[in-house]
Amino acid sequence: MSDMMNRILITGAAGQLGGMLREKLKGRAGVLRLSDVADLGPAGEGEEIVPCDLADGAAVKRLVEGCDGIVHLGGISVEKSFDLIEAANLRGVYNLYEAARAHGMPRIVFASSNHTIGYHEQTERLDHTAPYRPDSLYGVSKIFGEAVAQLYYDKFGQESALVRIGSCTARPENWRMLATWFSPDDFVSLIETVFRAPRLGCTMLWGASNNDHGWWDNSHADFLGWKPKDNAADFAAEIARTVPRPGPDEPVAKYQGGVFTDEPIHES
Amino acid sequence: MSDMMNRILITGAAGQLGGMLREKLKGRAGVLRLSDVADLGPAGEGEEIVPCDLADGAAVKRLVEGCDGIVHLGGISVEKSFDLIEAANLRGVYNLYEAARAHGMPRIVFASSNHTIGYHEQTERLDHTAPYRPDSLYGVSKIFGEAVAQLYYDKFGQESALVRIGSCTARPENWRMLATWFSPDDFVSLIETVFRAPRLGCTMLWGASNNDHGWWDNSHADFLGWKPKDNAADFAAEIARTVPRPGPDEPVAKYQGGVFTDEPIHES
Amino acid sequence: MSDMMNRILITGAAGQLGGMLREKLKGRAGVLRLSDVADLGPAGEGEEIVPCDLADGAAVKRLVEGCDGIVHLGGISVEKSFDLIEAANLRGVYNLYEAARAHGMPRIVFASSNHTIGYHEQTERLDHTAPYRPDSLYGVSKIFGEAVAQLYYDKFGQESALVRIGSCTARPENWRMLATWFSPDDFVSLIETVFRAPRLGCTMLWGASNNDHGWWDNSHADFLGWKPKDNAADFAAEIARTVPRPGPDEPVAKYQGGVFTDEPIHES
Amino acid sequence: MSDMMNRILITGAAGQLGGMLREKLKGRAGVLRLSDVADLGPAGEGEEIVPCDLADGAAVKRLVEGCDGIVHLGGISVEKSFDLIEAANLRGVYNLYEAARAHGMPRIVFASSNHTIGYHEQTERLDHTAPYRPDSLYGVSKIFGEAVAQLYYDKFGQESALVRIGSCTARPENWRMLATWFSPDDFVSLIETVFRAPRLGCTMLWGASNNDHGWWDNSHADFLGWKPKDNAADFAAEIARTVPRPGPDEPVAKYQGGVFTDEPIHES
Amino acid sequence: MSDMMNRILITGAAGQLGGMLREKLKGRAGVLRLSDVADLGPAGEGEEIVPCDLADGAAVKRLVEGCDGIVHLGGISVEKSFDLIEAANLRGVYNLYEAARAHGMPRIVFASSNHTIGYHEQTERLDHTAPYRPDSLYGVSKIFGEAVAQLYYDKFGQESALVRIGSCTARPENWRMLATWFSPDDFVSLIETVFRAPRLGCTMLWGASNNDHGWWDNSHADFLGWKPKDNAADFAAEIARTVPRPGPDEPVAKYQGGVFTDEPIHES
Amino acid sequence: MSDMMNRILITGAAGQLGGMLREKLKGRAGVLRLSDVADLGPAGEGEEIVPCDLADGAAVKRLVEGCDGIVHLGGISVEKSFDLIEAANLRGVYNLYEAARAHGMPRIVFASSNHTIGYHEQTERLDHTAPYRPDSLYGVSKIFGEAVAQLYYDKFGQESALVRIGSCTARPENWRMLATWFSPDDFVSLIETVFRAPRLGCTMLWGASNNDHGWWDNSHADFLGWKPKDNAADFAAEIARTVPRPGPDEPVAKYQGGVFTDEPIHES
């Protein structure tokens, strides 16, 4: 990848996920441009820091200029009030795609979410044709983002990977994550795959590792050649020993979105 | 329907579509509550006028109170800037569903649009499982609205009909409308059907008449028993005589969304 | 049909449905052989009465001899204890197919039931590939019967029509019957169609009239050319006036099997 | 149609089908250019006669010049030796598409056949995705023709209607034709529809009337708005009276291709 | 599993399959309760022996009491007369589910069979939506059992795994078993998986090892995380050397059910 | 395989692919009969050389006599004029199937091609139901061949494997071959599998190795137990280093058929 990419932008780089990718993508591109509204600390070697509020369209345009790839993690990643979600996840995504359009349409890895389909039951297997079943305003906002990406592909040819992230943590931490775990290494290999492919299109990818337990079928995207390597089942015995098994009708065992299905609507 | 409904709210009642429904629904409910940001003129018999900006959440809560059915036509209905669409079609829909939840969850007929799937070609037949292919920010905003409706159904049981309106005009006016025409009478019978059904769920309906030329399959919703009666083909000879036939690769003949696929992104 | 059939057997001829068909099929075959465990009254012209317990294999063999068509309505038609259902609907069906095999394999119209799929929701549209979702031991027994029919077709070439009857009454009587009504005249035309067709195979047919409200798709069987004529919607206004509308979550409005989903298991 | 078409070419115009269309299309275009290797008699008003062997590429080029629509009925229409089929149906179709490409790509109505799928059983319902199951070399040659049409569409934009003709006769004549009958009037309305549509693409159409008995689903092509009017069932009683009913395992009742499945390979 | 299960019931424990599981499940639960009508020998450590006739409802109720998991192998496992099958496989299954319902609904692993779909050809790939095609009364009885399990899930929430066992033998013994072999170790891992899962639902599983040759697709059940490890192909060379290769049209090579398709109906 | 096959015929044995198979199949059958119009050099041990023009029906009959397996590579394998393709790929295939029918119907491995579906985009995943989208007259000729094979299976029981070969070269040589590469060893194992299977039917197989990048799904043919072992991804780094990455809209990156989509029609 480093042969191909001069400057990759990571938005939301101060978050938990952003921090992991900042470290793991080090050296994979000429420069990593890191952005967030929160503090990112000093720029390391091969890094540049560009603070930016995604709701500010002009700022986002400047942020994107000069990048030949974007990993868009920025925005709200849990259930919040409509006002917060609107600024970061609706307006913010619109601003990002407008900025990309203004600056040569670099490929975008868009961090979408399993919460776009969170009300599907865990006994269902979903492929890329599964209907949306959002479990939160947050999930709705990610549907909005996927729709913007599709529009810019059909209208302008902007390519995107829409990664419906499961649970991107260092290791799986509970029964549900046996299915949803997405190891940081597998996320990195996905990003490399996306930036290397001759043709990407506007392709949804379920962001999960090669878990024995699985709800999601990525075979429609085999053309990309991405093969996740990690498997949450390696942690199954430990989870069985340390985490109480939920009952079959608890939200965390019933719905793919888990406890998000139990979240109320947050007041603005 | 008049036996069942005491008060139906029509938002966007000052628009072209709202005006037609205002007239045709007269007497079908105890009271028609009409709302818009534009002037609605004086209230007629069986009408009450409640001006309201959909972007104002508190005002929308008051607007919905006391209604046992909602026909939500309000908002932007053509391509506009993100700012305009955000206020009316994103925030506005959120406000409406919050208001309905606060007031007993009256059924909502949500005016969605064929522009949610506008980049599908006219040689394709779509059913309710067709993937979104928005042709405009407007189309994206309607996808957002459908997602909010689905969320409120799964989380709270709020029932909605998501009507992807084709072209609701007095008569079909061009070649594309041979497939998309949705006669006002058929829209009215759809509304009656929706408010009468024992169980509605959250059901998408293609808003088109019983046209010989058709792209859309409503059979998944046969349980409702809605049967449109009008047929754009009755006007085909007249259109052939008076409207130049487009070439096969013009947007108006190629894409289901027609000329919307040719619209630029509007500056905010 | 009368040209083709010499003797048609109707089992369960003393039941409500059997009585209707006894009358309507009069003269459509050389002889109607009527059978039941209950009293059938005296034989009319063109009729012969053969009392028979379906659980008695030898008696069923005698019953079937000489018939060139069978309309098998016999057995239990509501939820009952396993013992009652076993004798009439499990053993009885086995006996019938063995008897048909012993006597030239006359075509069989097997009265199956919507209660084989009763737990599907009323907002679902089912075609012939829908999975079974029985709502009662009765429904389970009809699945058993369909499986026996399929076995005898694959193993011996015995042809059957598996008619999943909705609600075969003189007129629709409640909201659910707007979808399930199967007029006696349409049942008769189905029987005629089945006995007239050059090739029947082992074909499932949804037993419903041409109702505006519908859950079931018979298009896989268009090869037979059966076109039901009646429409429960003709009675919709009357039902709306006289029958209280059920709430959306009452079993009668939620599940295709209606109140059968609420039946307990009956003690033997 | 006459408003739109200056000159329509009918190949195979001396055949049984060609003769019917010659008569029924009279006056629907400025000029009908009629072609065949067999004698066509004198040109009538609005007709011009151009004898042509389809195997002669240069002649076919001249034949097509100046036409703005082609109805390609020419070639072998029953099972014959490979040599005969090769000249007329393989080379002939190639020549026709090359000629159309050389002369502005007028739309082509290509007479394909049900014998492309003749080994499907009559109890199956087929839509446009059904796999090929040819019942003869003749059927194979029509698959070749459909493939050529698809190639010229994808490579050059040549539009075609691929009409899989059932049985185009004045009236249905046997039990199988209850499903396959394609009335000449319905064929004419199909041709008119195809030449009038703004966008045709490369679309397969099952060539059958609106028969109660049916195996074929044309709903994928509803965008064209073609509605056949005739119904073989109007002749069912007459057929039942005059034609012996075939047994369920006779080819004419078992396979959609009927007796073609019983044809041997013809020696060259 | 031993951490989770206090007492597992194995019915049919004296059979060939029961004997294998008795040995392999030793120590995986606090107590193995073993039951059969045939002699089971003395109870080993961690075992208890409870003879029981499955046709005796009261006895089955006592049998199930106190168990927190059931592996139901009991009943007839080859083609037999209706009388024998009725007692063991129809009444027996009903009794088992009634007993489970009376005693806290422990999870049930139900030994279903490939003979529910035995008339599908070996060139077909089946997933969980494949229609039933039973090859024997035995196969019909397993369809009955699956239907009972589904009823008790929908009505009462009773969870079951419906395992359509291929050929559970120590090693594959013929050409057909290259596809159907289900190693005892893989069956054990399936049972462990089923009892460990937070949510099971009513899930069908094809009971086959990870064979290179395969007809059955278990991907719908990936949520359980079961991964069979054995592969009949490891024995392919040996089989090719020692077992004559069947012709392509012999039942053992044509149908998935193999020679069961050749079985007659057994006299009662 | 050598135990089972006495004499295997390889047509087109002088070609690049034929040469590789000639070497790799050495010793796998009693005799390899090698045929071509081009020079094949002297016969090696276990080989016999039979020159033959596939367009000569009588010669092909002699060629096939005495063989119990055929690997049909003969014919044109790139885009050429209709005349050349007709002789070798249309008439040639017809001659081959007639010859096989005259001589006991030995199994045929037919070298079909990805160019039967070359206009599908590289972002699509295809299974055996994908519609044809030929990218050349060559591709059309392979569709013709597949249709002939299906006809001879349905009519006479002739078994065939239709292998849609991707790119059979010693190693993958460009970006597209990451998906299409079919290693010669994997082709050999496919041939062995096909000749060993008890039942083959008429089965299409995508001819590609076990590549990480993939467009094609062979799971419908799992019954054969074929498992390709090689993976083009092992060469991905080398290709990325040595071959310029194509842009996303170049034919070689856009369409599965690659540059064949850019080929003109060749003059005869």
What DSSP assignment string belongs to chain F? -TTT-SEEEEETTTSHHHHHHHHHTTTSSSEEEE--SS---S--TTEEE----TT-HHHHHHHHTT-SEEEE--S--S---HHHHIIIIIIHHHHHHHHHHHTT--EEEEEEEGGGSTTSBTT--B-TTPPP---SHHHHHHHHHHHHHHHHHHHH---EEEEEE-B-SSS--STTHHHHB--HHHHHHHHHHHHH-S---EEEEEE--S-SS--B--GGGGGG-------GGGGHHHHHHHSPPPPTTSHHHHBTTGGGGGPPPPP-
- The answer to whether residues E54 and E95 touch, using CB atoms and an 8 Å cutoff, is yes
A183: tokens are 């190891």
> How many CB contacts within 8 angstroms connect chain D with chain F?
76
> Could you give the CA distance from residue D61 to residue D67 in angstroms, rounded to a whole number?
11
C268 domain residue, yes or no: no
Q: What is the dihedral of CA B81, B87, B88, B94, to 10 degrees?
A: 130
Three-class HEC string of C171-231: CCCCCCHHHHECCHHHHHHHHHHHHHCCCCCEEEEEECCCCCCCCECCHHHHHHCCCCCCC
Chain A CB contacts of F250 below 8 Å: 198
In a domain, E267, yes or no: no
- Contact yes or no for F214 and A196 at CB 8 A: no
The pLDDT assigned to E134 comes to: 98
- Predicted-assembly ipTM surpassing the 0.90 threshold: yes
Structure confidence by residue, pLDDT tens digits, D155-165: 999 999 999 99
Phi, psi torsion values for C138, nearest 5 degrees: -55, -50
Question: Computed from CA positions of residues A78, A79, A83, A85, in that sequence, does the dihedral angle turn out positive or negative?
Answer: positive
Sheet holding F107-113, edge to edge: F47-49, F31-34, F7-11, F69-72, F107-113, F160-165, F202-207
Assess whether pLDDT exceeds 80 at residue D3.
Answer: no
E with B: touching (≥3 Cβ pairs within 8 Å) = no
- Does residue B267 belong to any structural domain of this protein? no
Contact predicate A92/A61, CB 8 Å: no
Residue F248, both tokens: 């996303």
Per-residue confidence of chain A (268 residues) as pLDDT tens digits?
656 689 999 999 999 999 999 999 998 889 999 999 999 999 999 999 999 999 999 999 999 999 999 999 999 999 999 999 999 999 999 999 999 999 999 999 999 999 999 999 999 999 999 999 999 999 999 999 999 999 999 999 999 999 999 999 999 999 999 999 999 999 999 999 999 999 999 999 999 999 999 999 999 999 999 999 999 999 999 999 999 999 999 999 999 999 999 999 998 7
Judge whether F141 lies within some domain. yes
**Shortest Cα distance from D140 to chain F (angstroms)?**
6
Residue B133's nearest CA partner among A139, A159, A199, A152 is A152
According to DSSP H, which parts of C89-136 are helical?
Answer: 92-102
Structure tokens at F151: 């006809």
* Position A6, amino acid: N
Q: Say if residue B2's pLDDT is above 70.
A: no
C198 within a domain of the structure (yes/no) = yes
Residue C121 phi, psi dihedral angles, 5° rounding? -75, 155
Question: Mind telling me how many Å the CA of D201 is from chain F's nearest CA?
Answer: 14
Q: What is the pLDDT of residue A5?
A: 87
Helix axes A16-24, A184-196, angle to 10 degrees: 60
Positions of chain E with pLDDT under 50: none
> Contact at 8 Å (CB) between E148 and E137?
no
Q: Nearest chain E residue to F193 by CA: give it.
A: E213
Which residue is it, tokens 């209709």? F82
Residue of chain A minimizing CA distance to E159: A248
Q: Average the pLDDT over B205-227 and give the result.
A: 98
- Considering CB atoms only, which of D198, D199, D222 is closest to B214? D222
The pLDDT value given to residue D267: 87
Closest by Cβ to D219, choosing from B125, B211, B246: B125
**Does residue F267 lie within any of the structural domains?**
no
Residue C91 DSSP symbol? I
Task: Name the E strands within A27-139.
Answer: 31-34, 47-49, 69-72, 107-113
Is A165 in contact with A111 (CB distance < 8 Å)?
yes
Reported confidence tier of residue C268, pLDDT bands at 50, 70, 90 = confident
pLDDT at residue C267, rounded to an integer: 87
- CA–CA separation, D240 vs E146, rounded Å? 43
Q: Between chains, do D4 and B236 touch, taking CB under 8 Å as contact?
A: no
At A235, list the tokens. Answer: 């942690």
Q: Give C129: exposed, middle or buried? Use CB within 10 Å, 0-12, 13-18, 19+.
A: exposed
Per-residue pLDDT of chain F (268 residues; tens, 9 = 90+): 656 689 999 999 999 999 999 999 998 889 999 999 999 999 999 999 999 999 999 999 999 999 999 999 999 999 999 999 999 999 999 999 999 999 999 999 999 999 999 999 999 999 999 999 999 999 999 999 999 999 999 999 999 999 999 999 999 999 999 999 999 999 999 999 999 999 999 999 999 999 999 999 999 999 999 999 999 999 999 999 999 999 999 999 999 999 999 999 998 7
- What CATH number corresponds to the domain at position B23? 3.40.50.720
- Cα→Cα distances B236→A56, B240, D2, Å: 49, 6, 15
Q: Which residues from chain B sit within 8 angstroms of residue D225, using beta carbons?
A: 178-179, 211-214, 233, 236
Q: Which of B195, B167, B252, B206 is nearest to B67 (CA)?
A: B195
| Tokens coding F126 | 């295809």
Q: Is C26 part of any domain? A: yes
- Residues of chain E with pLDDT > 90: what percent? 96
Residue C5 pLDDT more than 90? no
The range of the structural domain enclosing residue F23 comes to: 5-262
Q: Tell me whether residue E48 is exposed, middle or buried, using C-beta atoms within 10 angstroms of its C-beta: 0 to 12, 13 to 18, 19 or more.
A: middle
Residues B240-248 have a mean pLDDT of 96
Give the nearest partner residue to B140 out of A82, A136, A144, using CB atoms: A144
User: Distance between CA E172 and CA E240 in Å, rounded?
Assistant: 12
Q: Best residue in A2, A199, A204, A226 to probe F by mutation, most F CBs within 10 Å?
A: A199
d(C-alpha E206, C-alpha A195), whole Å: 39
pLDDT above 80 for D60: yes
> What is the per-residue pLDDT across C44-68, written as a single tens digit (0 to 9) for each?
999 999 999 999 999 999 999 999 9
Contact C7, C29 (CB under 8 A): yes
The reply to whether residue C247 touches residue B198, judged by beta carbons under 8 angstroms, is yes
Structurally, chain C folds into a number of domains equal to 1
Transcribe B131-143 into DSSP letters. Answer: PP---SHHHHHHH
Integer Cα distance of F52 and F150 in angstroms = 25
Residue C181 in any domain: the answer is yes
Measured between CA atoms, the residue of chain C closest to residue E156 is C264
φ/ψ (deg, to 5) at A134: -65, 150
The sheet carrying C7-11 orders its strands as: C47-49, C31-35, C7-11, C69-72, C107-113, C160-165, C202-207
Closest by Cα among E90, E162, E202 to C148: E90
Strands ordered across the beta sheet of A202-207: A47-49, A31-34, A7-11, A69-72, A107-113, A160-165, A202-207
Q: Is residue B112 scored above 80 in pLDDT? A: yes
The β-bridge relationship of strands D202-207 and E7-11 is unpaired
DSSP secondary structure letter of residue A44:
-
pLDDT at B1: 61
- What's the pLDDT score for residue E268? 78
Among the listed residues D149, D176, D189, D158, the one whose alpha carbon sits nearest the alpha carbon of residue D244: D176
Please tell me the predicted confidence (pLDDT) of residue B268: 77
